[in-house]
Structure 1
Protein backbone atom coordinates (compact mmCIF):
# COMPACT_ATOMS: atom_id res chain seq x y z
CA UNK A 1 0.00 0.00 0.00
CA UNK A 2 1.17 3.50 -0.83
CA UNK A 3 2.68 5.50 2.04
CA UNK A 4 4.86 8.59 2.44
CA UNK A 5 8.36 8.07 1.04
CA UNK A 6 7.25 5.62 -1.69
CA UNK A 7 7.89 6.52 -5.33
CA UNK A 8 4.81 5.69 -7.35
CA UNK A 9 3.58 5.75 -10.92
CA UNK A 10 -0.03 6.68 -11.47
CA UNK A 11 -2.26 7.29 -14.48
CA UNK A 12 -4.80 10.06 -13.96
CA UNK A 13 -7.54 12.09 -15.59
CA UNK A 14 -8.35 15.49 -14.10
CA UNK A 15 -11.75 17.12 -14.56
CA UNK A 16 -13.61 20.12 -13.16
CA UNK A 17 -17.06 19.84 -11.58
CA UNK A 18 -18.64 20.77 -14.93
CA UNK A 19 -17.04 17.66 -16.45
CA UNK A 20 -14.47 19.49 -18.57
CA UNK A 21 -11.05 17.81 -18.63
CA UNK A 22 -8.00 19.93 -17.72
CA UNK A 23 -5.27 17.27 -17.72
CA UNK A 24 -4.66 13.58 -18.31
CA UNK A 25 -1.77 11.12 -18.54
CA UNK A 26 -3.59 9.28 -21.35
CA UNK A 27 -1.19 8.55 -24.20
CA UNK A 28 1.80 9.44 -22.00
CA UNK A 29 3.92 7.73 -19.39
CA UNK A 30 2.24 7.62 -15.97
CA UNK A 31 3.07 10.42 -13.52
CA UNK A 32 5.94 9.40 -11.23
CA UNK A 33 6.55 11.12 -7.89
CA UNK A 34 7.65 10.54 -4.32
CA UNK A 35 4.67 10.58 -1.96
CA UNK A 36 5.12 13.25 0.71
CA UNK A 37 7.66 15.28 -1.31
CA UNK A 38 5.20 18.09 -2.17
CA UNK A 39 5.76 17.53 -5.90
CA UNK A 40 1.99 17.34 -6.53
CA UNK A 41 -0.92 19.13 -4.86
CA UNK A 42 -1.83 17.97 -1.36
CA UNK A 43 -5.22 16.51 -2.26
CA UNK A 44 -3.71 14.40 -5.06
CA UNK A 45 -1.03 13.10 -2.71
CA UNK A 46 -3.59 12.32 0.00
CA UNK A 47 -5.71 10.52 -2.61
CA UNK A 48 -3.07 7.92 -3.50
CA UNK A 49 -2.12 6.99 0.09
CA UNK A 50 -3.36 3.48 0.87
CA UNK A 51 -3.82 2.43 -2.77
CA UNK A 52 -2.34 -0.86 -4.04
CA UNK A 53 -0.93 -1.61 -7.50
CA UNK A 54 -3.79 -1.93 -9.99
CA UNK A 55 -6.25 -0.02 -7.76
CA UNK A 56 -8.52 2.54 -9.42
CA UNK A 57 -10.08 5.36 -7.46
CA UNK A 58 -11.82 8.70 -7.99
CA UNK A 59 -11.06 11.63 -5.67
CA UNK A 60 -12.58 15.08 -5.31
CA UNK A 61 -10.14 17.74 -4.17
CA UNK A 62 -11.60 20.98 -2.77
CA UNK A 63 -9.96 24.17 -4.08
CA UNK A 64 -8.18 24.78 -0.74
CA UNK A 65 -6.31 21.44 -1.09
CA UNK A 66 -5.62 22.05 -4.79
CA UNK A 67 -4.50 25.50 -6.00
CA UNK A 68 -6.31 27.54 -3.35
CA UNK A 69 -8.73 30.39 -3.81
CA UNK A 70 -7.90 33.25 -6.18
CA UNK A 71 -5.74 35.90 -4.50
CA UNK A 72 -6.69 39.53 -5.23
CA UNK A 73 -3.03 40.53 -4.82
CA UNK A 74 -2.21 38.44 -7.90
CA UNK A 75 -4.32 40.76 -10.09
CA UNK A 76 -2.44 43.86 -11.19
CA UNK A 77 -2.13 46.59 -13.83
CA UNK A 78 0.73 46.65 -16.33
CA UNK A 79 1.65 49.38 -18.81
CA UNK A 80 0.76 48.45 -22.38
CA UNK A 81 3.81 50.39 -23.62
CA UNK A 82 6.10 47.83 -21.94
CA UNK A 83 4.77 44.99 -24.11
CA UNK A 84 6.42 44.52 -27.53
CA UNK A 85 4.09 45.63 -30.34
CA UNK A 86 4.16 42.21 -32.06
CA UNK A 87 2.52 40.54 -29.05
CA UNK A 88 -1.29 40.52 -29.34
CA UNK A 89 -3.11 42.08 -26.39
CA UNK A 90 -6.65 40.76 -26.02
CA UNK A 91 -8.87 39.76 -23.11
CA UNK A 92 -8.50 36.04 -22.42
CA UNK A 93 -5.01 35.91 -23.91
CA UNK A 94 -1.97 34.94 -21.90
CA UNK A 95 1.48 36.43 -21.50
CA UNK A 96 4.58 35.03 -19.84
CA UNK A 97 6.24 37.25 -17.27
CA UNK A 98 9.36 36.65 -15.20
CA UNK A 99 9.21 37.30 -11.45
CA UNK A 100 13.00 37.30 -11.14
CA UNK A 101 13.12 33.57 -10.39
CA UNK A 102 10.90 31.86 -12.95
CA UNK A 103 8.53 32.44 -15.85
CA UNK A 104 4.91 32.86 -14.78
CA UNK A 105 1.92 32.67 -17.13
CA UNK A 106 -0.54 35.54 -16.64
CA UNK A 107 -3.99 35.97 -18.13
CA UNK A 108 -5.16 39.26 -19.65
CA UNK A 109 -8.49 40.08 -17.97
CA UNK A 110 -9.00 43.69 -19.13
CA UNK A 111 -7.52 46.05 -21.72
CA UNK A 112 -7.65 49.77 -20.97
CA UNK A 113 -6.22 52.79 -22.78
CA UNK A 114 -2.71 52.71 -21.32
CA UNK A 115 -2.76 49.63 -19.07
CA UNK A 116 -3.81 46.01 -19.15
CA UNK A 117 -5.08 44.15 -16.10
CA UNK A 118 -3.32 40.82 -15.55
CA UNK A 119 -4.21 37.84 -13.37
CA UNK A 120 -1.26 35.75 -12.15
CA UNK A 121 -3.40 33.32 -10.13
CA UNK A 122 -3.03 29.68 -11.15
CA UNK A 123 -5.64 28.95 -13.87
CA UNK A 124 -7.21 26.32 -11.58
CA UNK A 125 -7.35 28.57 -8.48
CA UNK A 126 -10.83 28.50 -6.95
CA UNK A 127 -11.74 25.24 -8.68
CA UNK A 128 -12.60 21.93 -7.06
CA UNK A 129 -10.71 19.20 -8.94
CA UNK A 130 -11.70 15.62 -9.66
CA UNK A 131 -9.18 12.91 -10.49
CA UNK A 132 -9.69 9.37 -11.73
CA UNK A 133 -6.56 7.54 -10.53
CA UNK A 134 -5.03 4.18 -11.47
CA UNK A 135 -1.99 3.09 -9.49
CA UNK A 136 0.55 1.50 -11.86
CA UNK A 137 3.49 0.77 -9.54
CA UNK A 138 4.97 1.35 -6.08
CA UNK A 139 8.70 1.56 -5.33
CA UNK A 140 8.90 1.41 -1.51
CA UNK A 141 10.80 4.23 0.18
CA UNK A 142 13.93 3.68 2.26
Structure 2
Protein backbone atom coordinates (compact mmCIF):
# COMPACT_ATOMS: atom_id res chain seq x y z
CA UNK A 1 0.00 0.00 0.00
CA UNK A 2 1.14 3.54 -0.73
CA UNK A 3 0.72 6.83 1.10
CA UNK A 4 -2.20 8.40 -0.72
CA UNK A 5 -5.26 10.43 0.25
CA UNK A 6 -7.34 8.82 2.98
CA UNK A 7 -4.66 6.43 4.21
CA UNK A 8 -3.30 6.42 7.75
CA UNK A 9 0.48 6.61 7.57
CA UNK A 10 2.67 5.82 10.58
CA UNK A 11 6.21 7.18 10.51
CA UNK A 12 9.32 7.26 12.63
CA UNK A 13 11.07 10.58 12.18
CA UNK A 14 13.83 12.83 13.37
CA UNK A 15 13.64 16.54 12.62
CA UNK A 16 16.87 18.57 12.64
CA UNK A 17 17.87 22.11 11.77
CA UNK A 18 20.62 22.93 9.28
CA UNK A 19 23.24 22.64 12.04
CA UNK A 20 22.18 19.05 12.76
CA UNK A 21 20.53 19.94 16.08
CA UNK A 22 17.57 17.65 16.83
CA UNK A 23 14.35 19.66 17.07
CA UNK A 24 11.94 16.74 17.47
CA UNK A 25 11.97 12.97 17.13
CA UNK A 26 9.68 10.00 17.55
CA UNK A 27 12.60 7.97 18.91
CA UNK A 28 11.56 6.23 22.12
CA UNK A 29 7.87 6.81 21.36
CA UNK A 30 5.21 5.29 19.17
CA UNK A 31 5.43 6.26 15.48
CA UNK A 32 3.52 9.38 14.44
CA UNK A 33 0.25 8.36 12.73
CA UNK A 34 -1.47 10.91 10.51
CA UNK A 35 -4.26 10.94 7.91
CA UNK A 36 -2.60 11.54 4.56
CA UNK A 37 -4.11 14.25 2.37
CA UNK A 38 -5.86 16.10 5.20
CA UNK A 39 -3.20 18.67 6.11
CA UNK A 40 -2.33 17.03 9.43
CA UNK A 41 1.43 17.46 8.89
CA UNK A 42 3.38 20.23 7.17
CA UNK A 43 2.79 20.37 3.40
CA UNK A 44 6.41 19.78 2.34
CA UNK A 45 6.69 16.56 4.31
CA UNK A 46 3.30 15.29 3.18
CA UNK A 47 4.23 15.94 -0.47
CA UNK A 48 7.50 14.03 -0.04
CA UNK A 49 5.65 11.05 1.48
CA UNK A 50 3.02 10.91 -1.29
CA UNK A 51 3.22 7.58 -3.11
CA UNK A 52 5.82 6.10 -0.74
CA UNK A 53 5.37 2.59 0.69
CA UNK A 54 5.76 0.82 4.01
CA UNK A 55 9.46 0.38 4.80
CA UNK A 56 10.59 3.32 2.65
CA UNK A 57 13.24 5.54 4.22
CA UNK A 58 13.80 9.07 3.04
CA UNK A 59 15.52 12.30 3.86
CA UNK A 60 13.50 15.41 3.18
CA UNK A 61 14.54 19.08 3.29
CA UNK A 62 11.46 21.27 3.66
CA UNK A 63 11.70 24.95 2.79
CA UNK A 64 9.93 27.48 5.06
CA UNK A 65 7.16 28.09 2.53
CA UNK A 66 6.14 24.42 2.79
CA UNK A 67 6.85 24.17 6.53
CA UNK A 68 5.81 26.75 9.08
CA UNK A 69 5.97 29.65 6.64
CA UNK A 70 8.40 32.52 6.33
CA UNK A 71 9.25 34.63 9.38
CA UNK A 72 6.81 37.54 9.17
CA UNK A 73 8.08 40.78 10.68
CA UNK A 74 4.53 42.09 11.09
CA UNK A 75 4.01 39.40 13.76
CA UNK A 76 6.76 40.96 15.88
CA UNK A 77 5.69 43.93 17.97
CA UNK A 78 6.45 45.88 21.09
CA UNK A 79 3.93 46.13 23.90
CA UNK A 80 4.02 47.80 27.25
CA UNK A 81 4.97 45.78 30.32
CA UNK A 82 1.47 46.76 31.53
CA UNK A 83 0.10 44.08 29.17
CA UNK A 84 1.59 41.52 31.57
CA UNK A 85 0.02 42.96 34.72
CA UNK A 86 -0.42 40.30 37.38
CA UNK A 87 2.55 38.23 36.21
CA UNK A 88 5.27 37.64 38.81
CA UNK A 89 7.98 37.92 36.18
CA UNK A 90 8.33 38.27 32.44
CA UNK A 91 11.52 37.20 30.69
CA UNK A 92 12.71 36.33 27.16
CA UNK A 93 11.66 32.87 26.03
CA UNK A 94 8.37 32.88 27.95
CA UNK A 95 5.26 32.03 25.93
CA UNK A 96 1.80 33.48 26.46
CA UNK A 97 -1.64 32.94 24.96
CA UNK A 98 -2.98 36.07 23.33
CA UNK A 99 -6.10 37.07 21.43
CA UNK A 100 -5.92 38.63 17.98
CA UNK A 101 -8.43 39.66 15.33
CA UNK A 102 -7.78 36.24 13.73
CA UNK A 103 -8.36 34.37 17.00
CA UNK A 104 -6.12 32.94 19.73
CA UNK A 105 -2.38 32.65 19.21
CA UNK A 106 0.80 32.00 21.15
CA UNK A 107 3.37 34.78 21.47
CA UNK A 108 6.95 34.48 22.67
CA UNK A 109 8.73 37.22 24.60
CA UNK A 110 11.97 37.88 22.69
CA UNK A 111 13.34 41.00 24.40
CA UNK A 112 12.67 43.35 27.29
CA UNK A 113 13.99 46.90 27.31
CA UNK A 114 12.77 48.93 30.24
CA UNK A 115 8.98 48.96 30.08
CA UNK A 116 8.87 47.74 26.46
CA UNK A 117 8.43 44.02 25.75
CA UNK A 118 9.04 42.61 22.26
CA UNK A 119 6.75 39.71 21.44
CA UNK A 120 6.79 37.43 18.41
CA UNK A 121 3.71 35.55 17.19
CA UNK A 122 5.61 33.60 14.52
CA UNK A 123 5.85 29.83 15.00
CA UNK A 124 9.24 28.91 16.51
CA UNK A 125 10.15 27.14 13.24
CA UNK A 126 8.94 29.89 10.87
CA UNK A 127 11.59 30.89 8.37
CA UNK A 128 13.65 27.74 8.96
CA UNK A 129 14.58 24.90 6.66
CA UNK A 130 13.54 21.61 8.23
CA UNK A 131 15.42 18.35 7.71
CA UNK A 132 13.52 15.12 8.23
CA UNK A 133 14.83 11.56 8.36
CA UNK A 134 11.72 9.41 7.95
CA UNK A 135 10.93 5.71 7.92
CA UNK A 136 7.41 4.64 6.96
CA UNK A 137 6.36 1.95 9.46
CA UNK A 138 2.79 1.26 8.40
CA UNK A 139 0.10 2.34 5.94
CA UNK A 140 -3.56 1.36 6.16
CA UNK A 141 -6.88 2.50 4.78
CA UNK A 142 -8.56 5.11 6.94
CA UNK A 143 -11.92 4.24 8.49
CA UNK A 144 -15.02 6.14 7.41
CA UNK A 145 -15.01 7.94 10.77
CA UNK A 146 -11.37 9.00 10.28
CA UNK A 147 -12.10 10.28 6.77
CA UNK A 148 -15.12 12.20 8.05
CA UNK A 149 -13.27 13.78 10.98
CA UNK A 150 -10.01 14.34 9.09
CA UNK A 151 -8.09 12.86 12.04
CA UNK A 152 -6.66 9.48 13.02
CA UNK A 153 -8.78 7.73 15.63
CA UNK A 154 -7.01 7.06 18.92
- Identify whether the pair has TM-score above 0.5, normalized to the shorter chain: yes
Q: Deviations over 1:33-64 (max 9, x none)?
A: 11110111001111211211111111111111
List 4+ stretches of structure 1 deviating above 3 A.
100-103
How far is 1:127 from its partner? 0.5
Aligned to 1:70: 71
Tell me the distance in 1 between the aligned counterparts of 2:112 and 2:66.
32
Q: Deviations over 1:89-131 (max 9, x none)?
A: 223x222123264451x22222122220101100111100010
The CA RMSD measured in Å over matched residues stands at 1.7
Q: Which residue is 2:36 aligned to?
A: 35
- Give SS of 1:44's match: helix
Corresponding residue number in structure 1 for 2:22: 21
Question: For the residues of structure 2 that align with 1:121 and 1:85, how far apart are their CA atoms?
Answer: 22
Question: How high is the TM-score relative to the length of structure 2?
Answer: 0.83
User: Are the equivalent residues in 1 in contact too, given 2:17–2:128 (CA < 8 A)?
Assistant: yes
Runs of 5+ consecutive residues of structure 1 not aligned to the other structure: none
In the TM superposition, residue 30 of structure 1 has moved relative to its aligned partner by 0.8
What pairs up with 1:109-120 in 2 under 5 angstroms? 109-120=110-121
Structure 1 residue 54 corresponds to structure 2 residue 59? no
Q: Separation in 2 of the partners of 1:7 and 1:125?
A: 27
Question: 1 CA distance for matches of 2:123 and 2:115?
Answer: 25
SS in 1 for 2:74: helix
Match of 1:128 in 2: 129
1:99 aligns with 2:96: no
Q: Report Cα offsets for 1:57-90 as digits up to 9, x if no partner.
A: 111111111011111111112221231241x322
Tell me the TM-score normalised to structure 1 length: 0.89
